Amino acid sequence: MSGGELNPPSLAEAINAKGFTGAAGVRIVAIKPGHAEIALARRDDLLQFFGHFHGGVITALADQAAGIAVTSALPKGRIGVTVEIKVNFLSPADGIELIARANTLKMSGSIGVATVEVFSRSESAETLCAFCTATMRSLDLPGEFRQP
Amino acid sequence: MSGGELNPPSLAEAINAKGFTGAAGVRIVAIKPGHAEIALARRDDLLQFFGHFHGGVITALADQAAGIAVTSALPKGRIGVTVEIKVNFLSPADGIELIARANTLKMSGSIGVATVEVFSRSESAETLCAFCTATMRSLDLPGEFRQP
Amino acid sequence: MSGGELNPPSLAEAINAKGFTGAAGVRIVAIKPGHAEIALARRDDLLQFFGHFHGGVITALADQAAGIAVTSALPKGRIGVTVEIKVNFLSPADGIELIARANTLKMSGSIGVATVEVFSRSESAETLCAFCTATMRSLDLPGEFRQP
Amino acid sequence: MSGGELNPPSLAEAINAKGFTGAAGVRIVAIKPGHAEIALARRDDLLQFFGHFHGGVITALADQAAGIAVTSALPKGRIGVTVEIKVNFLSPADGIELIARANTLKMSGSIGVATVEVFSRSESAETLCAFCTATMRSLDLPGEFRQP
């Protein structure tokens, strides 16, 4: 995308610390340009009727992972925002933690597409519980959000 | 779907009171078979980096509205769960409240499809901020979740 | 989108006359800025295994309708191309003709989102057989495709 | 999915020989349970305005690949039909042939989810031009379509 400097991981940390993801406790596991792995521990206020992680919470995690993956490959001062997101729920997310692994398929002009696999982790195993595709567009980070 | 009795609104209330939607304060505005309107007031822990409602929270609200719309048209003792959900984000959700209005397009066998319009409400106007399609499947409500 | 001149319907006709849509016989019924209605008559080479219209053909029609709807609201010399498309198949497309009606939900910068309802028309009725959401981006029409 | 016999590749061939896919010349490259690779050579009546493969044709190929992948892992006498399909277009499909590779992510009850990568092949390279997710449901093959 750029011959120049890419966004530093500290931007992802700043994004993540705010609002819903900060309050829910989303944790960054690993970032490299175009890729992100983040995790979220089970908590009662993140579940649905049957006691599994709520589909919206799974989507929020996938969205965040896609955004970090795409943003981490953008030039410094640019950020990826979500145009649309699509999630298939494959099995009950009944583990103790969710892990989302995002991979940028393509950046083309200002449009990026990422896929995200979300796993439900129990004591003994990881199960693929959701598969997501997200379309992002990049824009200039407004001045008040820029990092020094 | 049925010549018999449909699910009562109290099932939607029970679903809604639990977990994420209960903790976030999702409020049921209106339900009729195949349709649902629900709302969610702005709160700091529901936002994203720029201070708008988080895309995952918007999706959670749309998902919940679709589930209630579909479930409300199912025979008593059946519930709709999400197979997949797709959301386009159309404008910043920067209002004081989100309102989601879901409409069941089709029930066919155990599969139902709903669309959801999500509006961001300010003091003076409602703006369409997201459009969602959800595919649900119906299953028997497990015994421990049945209402008397 | 523009204080100036919009694309003329002749652009949609030129687009439609070419390649797959020309060969399949896609017919423009009505265009106004942001909206399009197009139709496709049943033919053996447009069907699937069970003798209904093929899902890919339904998607092609929906895609074309979305493209025309979005392009018709763009300034002269711009065209909408598809970023992603999503179709739910709601009932068998077993009629004598398909009719696709597209409606632009939102244009924001270079991104447009349209929904398309596809109906299967029999002698006596129209049945909603598919529902589609398409995300388009606008770009400058390359010189060799411009109309005088 | 089954302790018994799975669908034979001849079912995929029969499906493929009919209607749109037969007329367009879709070619089966390889099938194993849960996976399918199929191809489609460039032809003028499969293109769009700019002379690339039409998005609807790309979707038809992806849909077919997903259907064969899911059906090939179903018990004899069952077939997968498409509930919904979603395609992101990643780069111009301007090659001499399309190749679609489908992979079943999950079968759960009667619902299956597959992803499909579509490549545009030129003389010298394959380029990922589209990424697709499809949700299928399985049903009993009607008697008149059963193979001896």
**Domain assignment of residue C25, yes or no:** yes
Closest CA to D81 of C90, A88, C44, B82: C90
Q: How confident is the model at residue D148 (pLDDT cuts 50, 70, 90)?
A: low
**Domain assignment of residue A4, yes or no:** no
**Domain assignment of residue D29, yes or no:** yes
Q: How confident is the model at residue B148 (pLDDT cuts 50, 70, 90)?
A: low
Quote the pLDDT of residue D1. 44
Three-state DSSP state, A100: strand
D84 → closest Cβ in B110, B135, B137: B135
C100 CB neighbours in chain D (<8 A) are: none
**Beta-sheet pairing, B27-32 with B35-41:** antiparallel
**Domain assignment of residue B4, yes or no:** no
Contact A23 B15 (CB under 8 A): no
Quote the pLDDT of residue C143. 82
> Does residue D129 carry a pLDDT above 70?
yes
**Domain assignment of residue A2, yes or no:** no
The percentage of chain A sitting over the pLDDT mark of 90, rounded to a whole number, equals 91
- Taking only the tens place, the pLDDT of each residue in C71-82 is 999 999 999 999
Contact B133 C133 (CB under 8 A): yes
Residues B68 and C64: their CA atoms lie apart, in Å, by 33
State the CATH number of the domain containing residue B67.
3.10.129.10
- Touching chains, C (3+ CB pairs < 8 A): A, B, D
Q: How confident is the model at residue A67 (pLDDT cuts 50, 70, 90)?
A: very high
Residues B89 and B79: their CA atoms lie apart, in Å, by 27
Quote the pLDDT of residue B2. 46
- Taking only the tens place, the pLDDT of each residue in B3-42 is 589 999 999 999 899 999 999 999 999 999 999 999 999 9
> Across residues A48-62, what is the average pLDDT?
96
**Domain assignment of residue A1, yes or no:** no
C108 CB neighbours in chain B (<8 A) are: 90-91
C-alpha gyration radius of chain B: 15
Minimum CA–CA partner of A134 in chain D: D88
Residues D72 and D8: their CA atoms lie apart, in Å, by 7
Between positions 78 and 137 of A, the ones with CB within 8 A of C are 83-84, 86, 110-111, 113, 133, 135, 137
pTM of the entire predicted model: 0.96
> Does residue D4 carry a pLDDT above 90?
no
Quote the pLDDT of residue C148. 67
Contact D15 C49 (CB under 8 A): yes
B83 CB neighbours in chain D (<8 A) are: 83, 111, 135
* ipTM of the complex in this document: 0.94
**Domain assignment of residue A32, yes or no:** yes
Quote the pLDDT of residue B1. 44
B131 CB neighbours in chain C (<8 A) are: 105, 113, 115, 133
Distances (CA, A) of D129 to A73, B70, C96, C142, D145: 20, 36, 33, 20, 34
> Does residue C127 carry a pLDDT above 50?
yes
> What is chain C's mean pLDDT, rounded?
94
A91 CB neighbours in chain D (<8 A) are: 106, 108
Between positions 43 and 62 of D, the ones with CB within 8 A of B are none
Minimum CA–CA partner of A105 in chain D: D90
Quote the pLDDT of residue A3. 57
**Domain assignment of residue C96, yes or no:** yes
> Does residue A146 carry a pLDDT above 70?
yes
> What is chain D's mean pLDDT, rounded?
94
Q: How confident is the model at residue D3 (pLDDT cuts 50, 70, 90)?
A: low
Contact C111 A84 (CB under 8 A): no
Number of domains in chain D: 1
- Taking only the tens place, the pLDDT of each residue in C33-47 is 999 999 999 999 999
- Taking only the tens place, the pLDDT of each residue in B73-126 is 999 999 999 999 999 999 999 999 999 999 999 999 999 999 999 999 999 999
D135 CB neighbours in chain A (<8 A) are: 88
To the nearest whole Å, the CA of A90 is away from the closest chain D CA by 7
Quote the pLDDT of residue C1. 44
Pure H helices in chain D:
9-17, 19-24, 55-71
Closest CA to A61 of A35, A92, A27: A27
Range of the domain at B103: 9-145
